[in-house]
Structure 1
Amino acid sequence: MTLPATQQPHWHHHPEYDLIEAELSGALPLVAHSEIREARRALGLAALGEARVLQLGDCAESFSDADPVTTSRKVRNIQKIAARMAERSGQQVARFGRMAGQYAKPRSSNFETVSGIDLPSFRGELVNSFEADNLSRRHDPERMLQAYDASSAVVREVRAHWAGSAEELSGGPWVAHEALVLDYENALIRTDERTGEQFLTSTHFPWIGERTRQLDHAHVSMFSAISNPIGVKVGPTADPETVVRLCQLLDPHHTPGRLTLIVRMGREDIHVALAPIVRAVRRAGHPVVWISDPMHGNTISTESGRKTRLVSHIIEEATAFRHILETEGAHAAGLHLEAAATDVTECVGGPVPDEKALSERYETLCDPRLNPEQALGVIDSFF
């Protein structure tokens, strides 16, 4: 039986669709099974309270950024911010970049208005183009091959930063993305012939978003079958019963490091919604990793219609998350931040004094990102 799946492209009528799927299914893994196991081990330490976690990177990647110089800049930014987290927390940090696959985005509407014209929504470069015309916004399965090639280039550069050092590999950075487009993700599942385990080889650490975590849908089913460490976004509409059921489906053996719950509730709702969920998960005995995404629940629009986030709101949710977790006797392991490696002006706060300053370097393909100085400020406030 084919399970339902939301947020999927409409492209199965494309004449090359079957050939593209066959090519992806025969492609080399983007990441190695041994790397995935190492990432899982590092997250296991965080689940036990012995390490921290940083997930950081672009809201949506661009194929044009999959070059060594840009990727190296992003990796250095992750390392810099993780070093601050390690210094402030006194613990080692498992580092994950939102990179090498963050090419697809869920959208709240199938259409958006750009310069007064109604167009199909931009769903990330894996699906369609950011260019604002009807032809560019068509869903094109050939973009899956472009995403694979771009991801491969990014992974190569990330590995170059490991420099063959076991010490470096023990903390990453590994790559992570939202596993949204099932045609792409399912084609990259591979079986370890030695152990029989199935791994999603498009990334080390995939996660399911708030819009696709339905218990009886295809995303949860796919995640239940793979042996990667996995994440699930938990928003303000989540209830304790549903989250515990997700834990039962995705972490049936109660394995530390298997499941990360990424909390994204908004600075107001978190005070009511989070504590009952933490209690229920702990009572059920699931050793999950708890991290805060203090950005997605705090997006606002300026009078001109531009999306932004206030750093003060981000800090407010992050610190509330830590206080609630610690009050409930759980480990607030870390942060999931949308952040650029350059001095963008997309969020208000710190070096971006007001909404007028947003226009200086507002470059995101989707949602607003912190710049490095703002991200360091969030780390300092969290610890």
Structure 2
Amino acid sequence: MNESLTVQGAPAPEVWDLLPAEQQPQWGAHPDLPGVRRALRTAPALTTAEDVRTLRRQLAEVALGRARVLQTGDCAEDIHECGATHTAAKARLLAELADRVALRTGHPVVRIGRMGGQFAKPRSRPTETAGGVDLPVFRGHLVNSPEPNAPARRHDPNRMLQAYEASAAVLRALDGARTDAYGPWASHEALVMDYESPQMRRDPETGDPYLASTHFPWIGERTRQPGLAHVEFLAALANPVGCKIGSSATPEQVVRLCRVLDPGRLPGRLTLILRMGAGTPASAVAPVVEAVQGAGHPVVWLSDPLHGNTVQTATGVKTRRLSDAVAEALTFRKVLEEQGLHPGGLHLETAAADVTECLGGPVTGEHALSERYESLCDPRLNPAQARELIDAVFS
């Protein structure tokens, strides 16, 4: 264990530590877990309260219709690709795509990377079959390894310290690349409570608690239940926070979620990231938007047009169609604008390299997917596909 991350002491658990939490690793009775949590509790903060406040002010501008957001990056970060070269390539693509949005909308764009902590993934099934053997599914480098063998797939809490160190490298690079309040900022899904909860810190100016593992944490469709650990944890933080909303969410559920995460109805506090699927008609999206608007929550509205559109080829390869992503994002824009609201931007899984994981644009058919399919989890847009999507949505 890194000496700088080794400390003693065990404070009383927070409320969310005592609540049920979905999609958590199965550490078992691993003897290292208490020490890892103690180490994370007093590790240097990866973000500052001042930066968190700055991002929240910028997102307030988006909520008020004066700016946009572009959030891009890997589905699951590779812990071995967190050096300066890889991070710079991702930040360059984010900046290029944000400039493209700015050119087409006339608004400044807040740049947020899915990086610096995107090492844990919720999964729909706990196991998968590889080579005829049932194995625990890969849940991101924070939990286990992608290699298809039993030792690699074992859940190991020591990997949280590796994820912390990798995140620190990415955050340092992003800090060096940030020239103004528009970014680049870091974000990740706040999924593994044993990693996130110990990294709560206090703002030295206000005394408010904030999550120091990232600037912008979000929770997903599988962990957005009020009264459970993830929602109660985010509710306690001063960070701007996000929540994915899928097609199964009812207007009443979303309004209840807004009441918990944005009780003060403050612009910039809460971002709702719609991931409805291209097959969800505008008539099904509109009631959710209407309900939130009617409840008086000035949220940032983002479209995630990829997560609801994952399909499998006949040979079992996961992919997404660019045409589906465009259709969903256009429906999102139409619904928001018809209600006089501001389509805040896009949340996209992208690769900085010319991968061949999604269909459309330069990837002309399923035969091409195998040419450069490198994702650790779900398929990502390559740069050309991301440009085409932005051009179609903001034309």
- 1:129 is paired with a residue whose SS is coil
**TM-score, structure 2 normalization:** 0.95
Q: Aligned partners of 1:271, 1:122: CA distance in 2, in Å?
A: 35
How far apart are the structure 1 equivalents of 2:102 and 2:366? 32
Matches within 5 A, 1:165-204: 168-204=179-215
Does the C-alpha gap of structure 1 residues 69 and 186 become closer, same or farther in structure 2, counting only changes over 3 Å?
same
**1:199-214 correspondence runs (5 A):** 199-214=210-225
Q: Deviations over 1:49-93 (max 9, x none)?
A: 000000000000011001111111110010000000000111000
Unaligned runs of 5+ in 1: 163-167
How many pairs are equivalent? 378
Shift of 1:270: 4.4
Q: How far is the alpha carbon of 1:114 from its aligned partner?
A: 2.0
**1:102-113 correspondence runs (5 A):** 102-113=118-129
- Give the counterpart of 1:94 among 110, 116, 123: 110
- Report 1:147-296 matches (<5 A): 147-162=163-178, 168-296=179-307
Aligned to 1:74: 90
- Residue 23 of structure 2 is aligned to residue 7 of structure 1: yes
Query: Which residue among 300, 308, 312 is the counterpart of 1:301?
Result: 312
Partner of 1:359: 370
User: How far did residue 103 of structure 1 move?
Assistant: 0.1
Match for 1:323 among 334, 346, 371? 334
Matched residues in 2 for 1:35 and 1:220: separation? 22
| Distance in 2, Cα, partners of 1:28 & 1:262 | 30
User: Structure 2: where are the runs of 5+ without partners?
Assistant: 1-14
| One-letter identity of the residue aligned with 1:230 | V
| Contact preservation (8 Å) 1:24, 1:184 | yes
C-alpha deviation, 1:8, in angstroms: 0.3
By how many angstroms is 1:117 displaced? 2.2
- Alignment partner for residue 54 of structure 2, among 24, 28, 38? 38
Q: Which amino acid aligns with 2:54?
A: E
Give identity over the alignment, percent: 55
Structure 2 counterpart of 1:85: 101
The superposition leaves residues 236-288 of structure 1 with CA deviations (integer Å, 9 ceiling, x where unpaired) of 00001110011110001110000000000101114232100111111110000
Distance 2:68 2:220 in 1: 21
The Cα of 1:194 is off from its aligned counterpart by: 2.6
Q: Give the deviation of 1:46 after TM superposition.
A: 0.3
**Alpha carbons 1:270, 1:321 under 8 Å: kept:** no
1:367 aligns to what SS in structure 2?
A: coil
TM-score, normalised via structure 1 length: 0.97
My pick for the range that moved more, 122-131 or 186-195, is 186-195
Q: Distance in 1 between matches of 2:212 and 2:180?
A: 17
Match of 1:127 in 2: 143
In the TM superposition, residue 113 of structure 1 has moved relative to its aligned partner by 1.6
1:62 matched to which residue of 2? 78
Aligned-residue offset at 1:218: 0.4
Query: Which secondary structure state, in structure 1, belongs to the residue aligned with residue 170 of structure 2?
Result: helix
CA contact (8 A) 1:127 1:143 kept: yes
Instruction: Report whether the alignment pairs 1:48 with 2:64.
Output: yes
Pair 1:23-2:39 in alignment: yes
Q: What letter matches 1:127 in structure 2?
A: V
- Residue 242 of structure 2: SS of its match in structure 1? strand
Offset at 1:169? 2.4
Instruction: Indicate yes or no: 2:383 matched with 1:372.
Output: yes
Q: State the Cα deviation string for residues 182-230 of structure 1 (Å, max 9, x = none).
A: 0100010001233110000000000000000011100000011000000
Q: Which amino acid letter does the alignment assign opposite residue 290 of structure 1?
A: W
Task: Work out the CA distance in 2 between the residues paired with 1:263 and 1:115.
Answer: 36
- The offset of 1:12, in angstroms, is 4.7
| Contact 1:236–1:270 (CA under 8 A) maintained in structure 2 | no
Tell me which amino acid in the other structure corresponds to 1:289.
V
